[in-house]
Amino acid sequence: MEEKIIKTEYAEIMQKSFIDYAMSVIIARALPDARDGLKPVQRRTLYDMHELGIRYDRPYRKSARIVGDTMGKYHPHGDSSIYEALVVMTQDFKKGLPLVDGHGNFGNIEGDGAAAMRYTEARLQQVTQQALLSDLDKDVVDFVPNFDETEKEPSVLPAKFPNLLVNGSEGIAVGMATNIPPHNLSEVIDAVKAYMKDENISNEGLMKYLKGPDFPTGGIVINKDDLLQIYTTGTGKIKIRGKVDIEKGKAGKTNVVISEIPYPMIGVNIAKFLMDVAALAESKKTMDIVDITNQSSKEGIRIVIELKRDADVDNFVNMLYKKTRLEDTFGVNMLAISDGRPETMSLKQVIKCNVDFQYEVNTRKYTNLLERELEKKEVQEGLIKACNVIDLVIEILRGSKDRAMAKACLVEGKTDGIKFKFKESKIMAAQLSFTEKQANAILEMRLYKLIGLELEALINEHEETMANIYRYEDILARRDSMAQVIMNELDDIKKSFGRPRRTVIDNFAEAVYEEKKQEEMEVVFLMDRFGYAKTIDIAAYERNKEAADAENKYVFTCKNTGKICIFTNIGQLHTVKVSDIPYGKFRDKGIPIDNVSNYNSEKERMIAVTSQTSLNLYRVIFATKLSMLKVVDGGEFDVSKRTVASTKLLEDDEVVSVTVLDDQKDIVLQTNDGFFLKFPLEEIPEKKKGAVGVRGMKLGAKDFVENVYYTGIWDQTIEYKGKQMELSRLKMGKRDSKGTKVRI
């Protein structure tokens, strides 16, 4: 067979492939359908449980069985995605109305994950069975082939209420995302009924019934006035706070108790909140906290913060709103699949989509039921007619050679070959005209049906069938009748599964927190050779001066309202607020300086650490590996940014020394090859921090400056190659000379 090569642009193939992939993710995985509010994986899992018979009134089945069966029949993706969807549908702290009844460890509100699927069990909730799956046998929705065309699955579930609103949804597709908050079932049903009574109702009119989101975690929505705009456009931000109660504690103290949390705080963010509150105390943002305990249990959230007696409770609570996630934002984006394409929908559009779907489902349902009742009517009328001439029917049956002969007589009046006792019977038999279905029913009728009570029951059943036919025809013919049927079903769902609202909705002023000004005082900064830093009281330092100086690499006094400056070998300056460094006892370990600054010990090395106050009062001298020197006014390093460039470096150069100038007179440069050069500091010009500087000494090939020393009114002795060396004995030279090689 001759090969056929098709040439095409690579860009066209990539574009088509990416669009196909994007649409697949958008339509078939990440976004919910506006009609039933379910993503494909959720719909397939629920349908599979329905098919397996795992109903609400039957025993639980292993989650692994459900996941495996769903993956094998309907959802050919990873088992973890199916199990995660199953887990979320059981969690009453995430869903307004859980669709699956879980038995076992399905995780908790504090972020602990569910147990493996081999350990947990599940079954459908009653509301799922009654309101999402109940009419699948009545041809109410289209069934489509599964991935390998060996099974059929529903394209959508016949949800009887807007599940998209009740349970909300979240998902990330390609280039778009959805984030819909959960709502109160009773309010949603009231809004649906209001729309059905007046299809011209506005979003504002609907919101008289549906007040806003109703999060399963409770909380307080504080921007009520913004909700109309959010529900009209389908996008916006809902501000939500946790519920805070004030209780009397022991010994006159006050307990701030958090009993409800913002919905976005579900999971690991609770632990983050506790850490944030503890950090406020450690950083001295507040001095009111005595203790923090998490007393949450299966009964609900209870986080207790014990405050001092004289604490300003209102100011403290406002601080929690401003500084932690006790006040958070839920970003609404009501994006769903409508008519086969993604659409950002308003509240009215979501309700309209579901109501239109309800009319479609009920039209198909009652059309199917009417057909069934008409078939029953036909059979019942045939049986009643047969009972009126039962003697003739029996005579036909006894005189016929086979079933076909008897059936032909009943349907077409053919009497050939049938033996009759009386001539009149043959004449009457020739006049029979039962339908095919009636004839089959007569032939299959049992003798006990001839009992008087059975005949009476048959007549009553026929009357009931006629009443059903009249009712179904009325529902299909009149939209008002169908609307009443739908509203009656909604009322039943509301009565059985509705619950009071949990989330409070109102307008609250923005939290105003007055940060107490820290009382300025002198402290001693200590940092050991491992980079652990802390500040202590001056008196504590004086008592432990010898040990402090011996155990720490950097020791100096500073203001608790000031900053610490860290100069590194790559020419960076990192600043740290002294208030961010823990203040405590002398024997406290401290905190790694990496944790409170941008300094990265893996990529750079500290050259000097000093206080901002010292820099402002003095000048700073820089010396680099390639012998570049400059003096900079310390005020240039009084910056607001946490990290800036402290100097400009040549290629392959790095900072060797940064020193605050006080009473030094001469500088001594020592190279790796043993050359020393001593000259007056006056020869080094003052430059800006962005300058490279001037050359301090001439270096030999591959030689570099290793150490920098200073002399002043004192005589300094250094250790060089294991021996003592007095710098005052070095011969004075000039800048940019080679220096003298010292041999010891």
Catalytic residue numbers, as ranges: 119
Distance CA(376)–CA(719), nearest Å, equals 112
Could you tell me the two tokens for 358?
């309800």
Distance CA(154)–CA(172), nearest Å, equals 24
**Three-class secondary structure of residue 208 per DSSP:** coil
Beta strand spans in 601-703 (E): 606-611, 619-624, 628-633, 643-645, 655-661, 666-671, 675-680, 694-695
Could you tell me the two tokens for 695?
């050359």
Contact status, residue 665 vs residue 623, Cβ threshold 8 Å: no
Residue type, 43: R
Closest CA to 52 of 86, 28, 22: 86
Closest CA to 620 of 643, 637, 605, 607: 637
Question: Rounded to a whole number, what is the distance in angstroms from the first to the last CA of the chain?
Answer: 89
Distance CA(44)–CA(75), nearest Å, equals 7
Identify the H or E element spanning 87.
Answer: helix 79-90
Distance CA(518)–CA(6), nearest Å, equals 75
Estimate the crossing angle of helix 63-73 against helix 40-52, to 10 degrees.
110
Could you tell me the two tokens for 143?
């069934």
Could you tell me the two tokens for 130?
């009654």
Contact status, residue 323 vs residue 280, Cβ threshold 8 Å: yes
Identify the H or E element spanning 343.
Answer: strand 341-344
Residue type, 377: K
Could you tell me the two tokens for 42?
């959720």
Could you tell me the two tokens for 528?
């050991």
Could you tell me the two tokens for 602?
């893996």
Q: How far is CA 61 from the centre of its chain?
A: 28
Q: Which residues pair with 610 in a beta bridge?
A: 565
Going by the DSSP 8-state scheme, the letter that residue 114 receives in this structure is P
Q: How far is CA 222 from the centre of its chain?
A: 21
Residue type, 181: P
Residue type, 16: K
Distance CA(697)–CA(674), nearest Å, equals 13
Count the neighbouring beta carbons within 10 Å of the beta carbon of residue 452: 7
Distance CA(502)–CA(481), nearest Å, equals 34
Distance CA(337)–CA(341), nearest Å, equals 5
Closest CA to 470 of 358, 365, 377, 380: 377
